[in-house]
Amino acid sequence: MKKVFMLVITVLLTFTMAACGQETSGSAGGEGAGDFPDKPINVIVSYEAGGGTDTGARILLPYVEEELGVTVNVINKPGGGGWVGWTELANADPDGYTIGYINTPNLMTGYLDPKFNRKQNLESFEPIANHVTDPGAIAIRADEDRFTNIEELMEYAKENELTATSTGVGSDDHYASLKLNDKFGTKFKPVHNKGAADSKASVLGGHVDVLFANVGELASLQKEGDIKIIAVMSKERSPFLEDVPTLEESGFEDVYSWSARGLAAPAGIDPEKLEILRAAFEKGIKNEEQKKKMGDMGLQVDYLDGEEYKQLLKDDEKAVKDLSDLMGW
């Protein structure tokens, strides 16, 4: 009987310790990492396939899959200047299996513009890492004969209205044309599209005069001879377009444009899961083969960890607030 009694006590103690272990393995506000991840992860890209964000995601994610040991899928959700996808991301279960790219300054426009009356803001997302900082660029069709360089374009645009592409109201492309109009008296009229693929098609088809986009979205088209990039809107020349002058070099100072593209999870994600994702994306983004492939596409890798990326987002939010007068807010 004594042996049976001791066996029962041992079983009960084992069960109690296991239960306690399960109870303490979680963390406040979450269920703990456990075996995370143990199923595919979806990455929402809030633009159409073929744009700079989509291209960068599809280059990066196979390297992240290697780190996480599960499939990582791109889910394109274009529309609303990016906010179709970002709304879905913000409202997703914060279990770590739905994450997404967020793009500045488009993200901030969507909740700072009072007409949208959105409840989401930066606090709706938990930054994972920045992947790319892609400078803005201005391009024209290769057969354009009204202007052939940035100086001629700017002079022409001071006297004549020209349509200019935009990937949505309050996108970096939109802000760029507005800032040029405000500072230099040009007459660029934005034409809003769902993404860079539409913008490129509209210019190549002769429907829009000037292509405002990002270096990573234009470099391959220039190589193919379809367009001519006549200026970049960064403080220094792009390493992928060393022969293309900056706006500042060309005499048009203090107008800069870029899009930062990084990854975020819905707010409320368990901290342990967040750290697993951050570690995997850090290794993927820093992978030299990945960086070379990105460079071949004209995409400038700019890794920032979660806290650095959070500060970048706050800085970009302030920059958008500073443009509120131009937007009529």
Condensed to tens digits (0 to 9), the pLDDT of residues 187-238 reads 999 999 877 888 999 999 999 999 999 998 898 888 899 999 999 999 999 9
φ, ψ at 314 (rounded to 5°): -65, -40
pLDDT at 294 over 90: yes
- Separation in Å, CA 298 to CA 37, 172, 220, 294: 32, 18, 7, 6
Specify the pLDDT at position 135.
Answer: 94
What is the structure's pLDDT at 31? 56
At residue 23, does pLDDT exceed 80?
no
Mean pLDDT of the region 82-106: 96
Strands 125-141 and 211-214: antiparallel
Mean pLDDT computed over 117-135: 96
Q: Is the domain 135-232 a CATH 3.30.420.40 member?
A: no
Whether the predicted pLDDT of 71 surpasses 50: yes
Q: Which two tokens stand for residue 122?
A: 């930066």
- State residue 24's pLDDT score: 38
Q: In whole angstroms, what is the distance from residue 253 CA to residue 228 CA?
A: 21
Is a pLDDT exceeding 50 seen at residue 102?
A: yes
Instruction: Give pLDDT, residue 2.
Output: 46
Averaged pLDDT score across all residues of the chain: 90
- Residue 18 pLDDT class (50, 70, 90 cuts): very low
CATH number assigned to the domain covering 41-133+259-327: 3.40.190.150
Range(s) for CATH 3.40.190.150 in the chain? Answer: 41-133+259-327
Quote the CA–CA distance of 310 and 125 in Å, as a whole number.
10
Residue 257 near residue 127, CB atoms below 8 Å: no
Q: Is the pLDDT of residue 32 over 80?
A: no
